[in-house]
Amino acid sequence: MLGHLDFSRPDASCDGLGAVLSQVTSGKERARSIAFGSKSLNRAQSRYPAHHLEFLALKWVVCDKFSHWLKGHTFTWTDNNLLTHILTKPKLDACKQLWVVKLAAYDFNIKYIPAPKNTVADALSRAPFVDGRISHRLIRESYEVLQADSEKLSSCSVQDLFR
Q: What share of the chain is helix, strand, coil (3-state, %, to 5)?
A: 45, 20, 35
- Is residue 103 a contact partner of residue 62, using CB atoms and an 8 Å limit? yes
Q: What is the pLDDT of residue 144?
A: 73
- Is residue 86 a contact partner of residue 55, using CB atoms and an 8 Å limit? yes
pLDDT single digits (tens) 77-123? 887 677 777 777 888 889 888 999 999 999 998 888 776 666 665 55
Residue 136: strand, helix, or coil: helix
